[in-house]
Amino acid sequence: MAITLVLLAAVAGGVSFALSNLTSQPNTVDYTSSPGQAVDVTMQTVGSYGHGIHATWVSYMTRSPDGQWLHTTTWQVPAHTKVNVTIYQYDSGSALRNQQIGTVQGTLGGIATLNGKVFSVVNANAGNGVGHTFSMPSLGINVPLYGNNANADLCSAAPCTTSPHNIVKFSFMSPGPGTYPWQCFVPCALGFLYGNGGPMQTVGWMDGFMKVVA
């Protein structure tokens, strides 16, 4: 009887956690104020958010058009518009379990820039490896984010502004109206089984949505 109650409590806790994630979605950053013009989306990745009950979780953040860093990974863009993405990568990196995600795919020209230099692939077995990816499978987009030196004085609380970081830029064309999920494919959730739990499966942390409107 006691074991049954424990199992029921565990199931109830899991359902409660799932429902809270479904009903408490982060804010949407709106980039649709200038129709017909290219959209500039700026984000950053941090090794630890540094706030609240999940202070140690790795996370993305998004900068709003008015310059504020927001803890959200959901943004809205116009359909059939050039989207210029800039990501400030503040986290360290490591080798990849799947080298395919070290290749730039789906961007305009099939390239990205790392600190101003064009690249199309990152050798994750050399240098600082890959910290995260920006990946949107439904559009065939994948961009690896080169890691920082793990021995450097890395940022421990978001938003980060002055710590060592890499700047990755790339562009793509938004598709027709719809909601398109994106995420990081590098298992980077410290303390979770195989690094795939917690922030890796939570919108507002290491995955999000691009909402495309007409």
Task: List the chain pLDDT tens, one digit each, 214 residues.
Answer: 433 333 333 333 433 333 334 445 689 999 999 888 999 999 999 999 999 999 999 999 999 999 999 999 999 999 999 999 999 999 999 999 888 999 999 999 999 999 999 999 999 998 999 999 999 999 999 999 999 998 889 999 999 998 899 999 999 999 999 999 999 999 999 889 888 999 999 999 999 999 999 9
Neighbours of 118 (CB within 10 A): 11
Contact predicate 184/46, CB 8 Å: no
Domains and CATH numbers, the chain: 2-213 (2.60.40.420)
Residue 12 region, left (φ>0) first, then alpha (ψ -120 to 50), else beta?
A: alpha
Give pTM, 2 decimals.
Answer: 0.87
Q: Whole-angstrom Cα distance, residue 188 to residue 191? A: 9
